[in-house]
Amino acid sequence: RLESKKSHRTKLLFCTTGVILRRLQDDPLLQGITHVIVDEVHERQWQIDFLLIALRQILKQRSDLKVILMSATLDANLFIDFFGGAPLISVPGRTFQVSSYYLEDLLEATGHVIEADAIHAKKESWSTKSQATFATGRGEHKSFRTITYDSNEGVSDDYLGYSMPTRISMDRVEEKIVNYDLI
């Protein structure tokens, strides 16, 4: 990660969408690049969408740039229209059904919980709180108690249709660490 393996002799450079977006910051017309190939364009990630918008703008100033969009499962007409009638090359072959599974659905279905102290959890997702209160016992005897509890008041509203354990687990997910328990 963050290692560059290119030189002045590089003819073909493979990079992530993020890398090319970073390059656009310094080189908004992608000078010196003749072709941009975007694979799996159907995934509709925000980075890919943003890259496609940028490439469409660049093509207005650089007719020599060739943009190739690839996907086994895309709605080609959507992209043909977006790029103003771009030609379509169809390669016959088998397509495979693609199913998307989202982490929150898998957590809900399996009951898997990401514990607060797990190595793959964010370290600030829960906090311990305490509250002083009076407790009334037998014979109307009142005593002063301090109750200590884990607070989840920071649970986001992003997953309101899911159980509280799933919502808490989603807030705990540390995306930079692979949770092998989920594989």
pLDDT digits (tens, 9 = 90+) for 21-52: 999 999 999 998 999 999 988 887 889 999 99
Instruction: Give the tokens for residue 83.
Output: 């790029």
Summary mean pLDDT of the chain: 83
Provide the number of structural domains found in the chain: 2
My answer on whether 124 and 172 are in the same domain is yes
For every residue of 143-178, DSSP letters joined together read: EEEEEEEEE-TT--STTTTS-HHHHHHHHHB-TTS-
Higher-scoring residue by pLDDT: 154, 119:
119
My answer on whether 79 and 47 are in the same domain is yes
128 near 150, Cβ under 8 Å? yes
pLDDT digits (tens, 9 = 90+) for 71-88: 877 788 888 999 998 888
pTM greater than the 0.85 cutoff: no
pLDDT digits (tens, 9 = 90+) for 9-25: 888 888 888 889 999 99
Query: Which of 99, 117, 148 is at the close of a domain?
Result: 99
Task: Tell me what percent of the residues of the chain surpass a pLDDT of 70.
Answer: 84
My answer on whether 93 and 177 are in the same domain is no
Range of the domain at 9: 1-99
Q: Is residue 153 over pLDDT 70? A: no
Query: Which of 99, 117, 139 is at the close of a domain?
Result: 99
